Amino acid sequence: MTSPSTGPDTPEQSLDPQDWAEFRRLSHAMLDAALDHMQGATERPVWKPVPEEVKTALAGPLPMEGQGTAQVCEDLIQQVLPYATGNTHPRFFGWVHGAGTPGGVIAETMAAAMNANLGGRDHGAIYVERQVIDWCRQLFDFPETASGLVVSGTSVATLIALTAARHQKAGYDVRREGIRPEEGRLVGYTSAEAHSCVARTFDMMGLGMEALRNVAVDADYRMDIGALRAAIEADLAAGLKPFCVTGSPATVNSGAIDDLDAIADVCQEYGLWFHVDGAFGAVAALSETFRPRMKGIARADSIAFDFHKWMHVQYDAGFVLIRDEAAHREAFTLRPEYLTAAPRGLAGGNPWFCEYGPELSRGFRALKVWFALKEHGIKRIAEKVEDNCRQAAYLGQLVQAHPDLELSAPVALNICCFRFVVPGLAVEDLNTLNSEIVMDLQESGVAAPSTTKLGGVTSIRVNITNHRTTTADMDLLVKAVVELGRQAARD
C-alpha cells in the first residue's frame, strides 16, 4: 500500500489568522478608522485627486507572497481610504450619488462575516432578501404575486426587466430561438431625456440601440405623449413589433417627471410592457408631496430603482420589481441537474433567486438594504427626499435672483441646472467657461457638481440625493460659483 500523499511543507493550515487576538485588535482599529472617515465626512474637501505616488503604488506587481494583515491595513489607510469619490460629503452634487450611512458599515461587515451566497438554497439570508422584496411590493402598491430581485443597480435591473418584457411580448420562444427578424423587428420607446441604460439594454438584448425610439420631449423635458403615439403608429404601419415603453419618474439630466399615468394608458391601449426607470425618481414617490405626480408608477409592469442613490444604502444596491412573477421567472430560469432543488435540507428553499436574473452566485446585498430600511424607516427616508427637493428649489431661487446666473431648466424635484452667464459672450465660450467653473470647483474641494447639456448648452448640474446636505450648502455653492465665474471671465 502506498502512503497517502501529503501536501507541501505547510501543514493543512487555513487562511485564518494564527493570532486571533492580534487580528481582533487590528480589526477594531480598522473599524474605528472607517467610522472616523464617516464622522469626518463634512470636514474634508469633497474630493482630492489621487497623487502620482499613490497611483504608482497601486500599479504594483502581482503579490506572490502575502504581506500580512497589518501591512495591507496600513496600505489601505494610506493609499485607498483618503481618495474616495466624495459622495459622503454634503456638497457632492455630481451625477446621482447616494451618501451612505454609518449603519451600512455594520451591515457590510456582517455580510462579509456570513459570506452567504444568495443564488438559492434554504438559509437565513434568503429570508432577508424575501423580506426586502415584500417591502418593495408594498412601497409601490404592487400585488403580492409580484417578484423582485436585489441587484447591483438600475442598469442591471433594467436589463432584467426588459429581458422579461421581450420574452413576454415576442410571441415566440425568443430564449430558445433568438430573435426572428421575419416576425417584425421588436422596437421600444423612451424619451430623448431617458438614461442611457435603456439604450444599453437594447444593445445587450441583441435588438440594437436603434430599435429604441427616443421620443421627443416637451418644453419641460417630459416625454411628449402625442409623439409617443405617433411613433408607435408609424412603427406598426411599417410592420414592426412595438413591445415596451420606459417612463422616467425623474430624468437624469433635469429631474423632469414624465406623465406616467398617460404612458400607462398608451401601454394598455397598445398592449405594451410599461417599464419605469425609477433609479432615484421612484424614491420620490415615497413622499406624500410627490406621490400624486407619480401615481402611474403603481400601474407599471416593472420598476427599476436604486437603494444606493436616494435611499442612502451603501454601493452597490438596486432593485427590479416585476408585476408578473411567472413572466419574470420564465425569462431567466434554467435549472440543470446540479442545481435541482430538494424537498428539504439545504437544497430546499424553492424558488431560487438564480431563476430571476443572470447571476448564479449572488452576494448578500439584501442585508444592508434590510438594515437601512429598519434602522431609518420609510418616513424618515421620505423626509430626507423632501429636504433635498426644498434645497434644490431654494438653489433655483438663488440662481434666479442672481444677475450672473441663469436657470437652464425648471426645478421639478432635486436637480437644479444653471449656468454662469456673461453678457455678450458667445455660446461656445460660455460652455467652456461653465465647464471650467465645474472643474475648478471640484479641484478646490469646496463642492462637486457635474455638467450636462440642456438644449445644446452646457449647464452646471446640481443633483441633491444627500442626507447630509443643508440649505447653507446652497448659499456656499452659489458664492463659490460666482467667485470662480467672475475670476474666469476676467482671465
Ligand X SMILES: *Cc1c(COP(=O)(O)O)cnc(C)c1O
Residues that bind ligand X (CB under 6 A): 96, 153-155, 195, 197, 252, 277, 279-280, 306, 318
- Per DSSP, the three-state class of 460 is strand
- Per DSSP, the three-state class of 378 is helix
Cell triple for 212: 429604441
Minimum Å gap between C-beta 259 and ligand X is 16
Q: Where are the beta strands (DSSP E) in 250-365?
A: 273-277, 302-306, 318-322
Minimum Å gap between C-beta 287 and ligand X is 17
Minimum Å gap between C-beta 158 and ligand X is 7
Dist CA 116 CA 468 (whole Å)? 32
Closest to ligand X by CB, 101 vs 248, is 248
Closest to ligand X by CB, 108 vs 277, is 277
Contact 94, 449 (CB under 8 A): yes
List 461's β-bridge partners, or say none: 417, 450
Nearest to 255 by CA among 278, 276, 274: 278
- Per DSSP, the three-state class of 247 is strand
Minimum Å gap between C-beta 152 and ligand X is 7
Closest to ligand X by CB, 101 vs 254, is 254
Closest to ligand X by CB, 108 vs 235, is 108
Helices (H), 140-173: 154-169
Closest to ligand X by CB, 275 vs 328, is 275
Minimum Å gap between C-beta 370 and ligand X is 19
Dihedral pair phi/psi, residue 428, rounded to 5°? -55, -45
Closest to ligand X by CB, 249 vs 349, is 249
Give the contacts of 369 (CB within 8 A, at least 6 positions apart): 132, 150, 307, 311, 313, 317, 319
Minimum Å gap between C-beta 252 and ligand X is 4
Minimum Å gap between C-beta 378 and ligand X is 20
Nearest to 228 by CA among 255, 276, 252, 192: 192
* Closest chain position to ligand X (CB): 153
Minimum Å gap between C-beta 463 and ligand X is 8
Closest to ligand X by CB, 318 vs 349, is 318
Dist CA 177 CA 175 (whole Å)? 6
- Per DSSP, the three-state class of 412 is coil
Closest to ligand X by CB, 168 vs 253, is 253
